[in-house]
């Protein structure tokens, strides 16, 4: 179990865009639709300035680990992946920053090599399987990091999909390994944090944006439990519960970390979960840090705090 407070920082969905320099052949696929969506819509919302301003908070947050839950890029272009890496380097060293991919990063099959190469150290688990990363994410996930009694379990739901689909899927192999990892880390009484790009509670997104095997994942969680699930993809705050073996499992999503919007539900935010050891379990406190202006000037911030109350290891009695 954690012996000391653990600060876990959550960021997500940077949607960094950089089309300049890419060959026109790069857009002879689904990317042309994402390019249009950027020009018509998302480019007016997502501003890297917001992320830069939020990162000014980071040194004051005393984070033990920062997690980024996918869609770091808008189209999975190599230049976007490198741009994301420069932001990751500002966030912290790879052993303190843990990244999983999102559907935008994996928009086309050829994008996989670009993000894996650019973020390799930030994607890395504590231990590499022999087949890690060889052919597909199905072979290299879940990726697990264990730090001070906290197990960070990264999943990859990112895979190329047809035009107009933003769906995700884990696949049977990844789910099978996840069940074994949850079982083992639960028995060790680690605080298990599941990281996944797509939301996993029914009805959170339309079918074309959903996790195809969410039902199978919920079944695994119901059997083996987890203490916390963090996701991206929805670009808004959400807090739902899923049934676990001993207690409900909190499932939380955040807005895009570059969203320059007035609506507090969708405005960029850094969240810090402080996992505090208490007798027989943990108490979790969350602090949200937002900019009070729209990404310009000094990042005077607004903090909101709330708590989950007490949690015992959420495993079968
Ligand atoms: Fe996204
Ligand atoms: Fe997404």
Report if residue 317 sits inside a domain.
no
Q: Are 131 and 151 in contact (CB under 8 A)?
A: no
Does 316 reside within a domain?
A: no
Range of the domain at 268: 6-311
pTM value is 0.93
> How far does the centroid of ligand 1 lie from the alpha carbon of residue 205, in Å?
12
Cβ neighbors of 249 (< 8 A, separation 6 or more) are 221, 225, 226, 227, 228, 229, 241, 242, 243, 314
Nearest bound ligand to the CA of residue 256: 1
Question: How many angstroms does the Cα of residue 166 sit away from the middle of ligand 2?
Answer: 7
Residue at 82 is within a domain: yes
Question: From the CA of 198, how far away is ligand 2's center (Å)?
Answer: 7
Whether 177 is covered by a domain: the verdict is yes
Give dist(CA 265, CA 158) in Å, integer: 25
Residue at 278 is within a domain = yes
pLDDT value of position 29: 81
Q: What is the pLDDT of residues 255-303, one digit of tens each?
A: 999 999 989 899 999 999 999 988 878 889 999 988 876 555 455 567 7
**What percent of the chain is modeled with pLDDT above 70?**
91
* Residue 311 clears pLDDT 80, i.e. is over it: no
Neighbours of ion ligand 2 (CB under 5 A): 71, 102-103, 233
Strands (E), the chain: 6-11, 65-69, 97-100, 143-147, 150-154, 191-196, 228-231, 238-242, 249-253, 270-278, 281-291, 301-311
First to last CA, the chain: 17
What pLDDT shows up at residue 2?
Answer: 61
Using CA atoms, how far apart are residues 186 and 11, in angstroms rounded to an integer?
25
Cα 23 off chain centre by = 29
* Residues 132-142 pLDDT 10s: 445 566 668 99
Q: Which residues pair with 308 in a beta bridge?
A: none
CATH of the domain at 252: 3.60.21.10
Centre of ligand 1 to C-alpha 5, Å, is 30
Angstrom distance (rounded) from CA 108 to CA 92: 28
Question: What is the reported pLDDT for 190?
Answer: 93
* Mean pLDDT of the region 162-170: 91
Interval 76-83 mean pLDDT = 96
For residues 316 and 205, the model is more confident at 205
CA of 106 to the centre of ligand 2 (A): 10
Is residue 192 scored above 90 in pLDDT? yes
Ligand lying nearest the CA atom of residue 236: 1
- Count of the separate structural domains present in the chain: 1
Is residue 37 a part of any domain in this protein?
yes
Give residue-wise pLDDT tens across range 46-56: 999 999 989 98
The more confident residue out of 138 and 153 is: 153
State whether residue 178 is helix, strand or coil: helix
User: Minimum-distance ligand to the CA of 74?
Assistant: 1
103 alpha carbon, closest ligand: 2
1 occurs within a structural domain = no
């Amino acid at each position: 179990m954690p012996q000391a407070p653990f600060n876990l920082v959550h960021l997500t969905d940077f949607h960094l865009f950089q089309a300049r320099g890419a060959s026109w052949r790069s857009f002879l696929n689904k990317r042309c639709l994402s390019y249009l969506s950027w020009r018509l819509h998302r480019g007016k919302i997502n501003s890297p300035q917001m992320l830069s301003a939020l990162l000014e908070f980071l040194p004051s947050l005393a984070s033990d680990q920062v997690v980024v839950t996918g869609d770091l890029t808008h189209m999975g272009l190599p230049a976007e992946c490198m741009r994301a890496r420069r932001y990751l380097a500002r966030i912290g060293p790879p052993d303190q920053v843990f990244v999983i991919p999102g559907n935008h990063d994996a928009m086309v099959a050829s994008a996989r090599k670009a993000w894996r190469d650019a973020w390799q150290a930030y994607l890395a688990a504590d231990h590499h399987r022999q087949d890690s990363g060889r052919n597909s994410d199905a072979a290299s996930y879940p990726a697990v990091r264990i730090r001070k009694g906290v197990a960070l379990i990264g999943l990859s739901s990112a895979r190329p999909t047809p035009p107009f689909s933003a769906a995700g899927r884990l696949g049977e192999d990844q789910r099978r390994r996840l069940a074994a990892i949850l079982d083992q880390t639960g028995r060790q009484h680690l605080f298990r944090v599941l990281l996944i790009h797509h939301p996993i509670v029914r009805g959170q997104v339309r079918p074309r944006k959903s996790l195809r095997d969410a039902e199978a994942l919920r079944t695994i969680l119901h059997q083996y439990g987890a203490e916390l699930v963090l996701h991206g993809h929805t670009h808004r705050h959400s807090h739902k519960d899923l049934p676990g073996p001993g207690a409900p499992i909190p499932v939380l999503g955040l807005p895009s970390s570059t969203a320059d919007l007035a609506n507090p539900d969708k405005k960029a935010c850094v969240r810090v979960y402080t996992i505090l050891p208490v007798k027989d379990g943990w108490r979790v406190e969350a602090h949200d840090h937002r900019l009070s202006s729209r990404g310009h000037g000094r990042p005077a911030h607004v903090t909101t705090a709330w708590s989950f109350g007490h949690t015992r290891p959420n495993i079968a009695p």
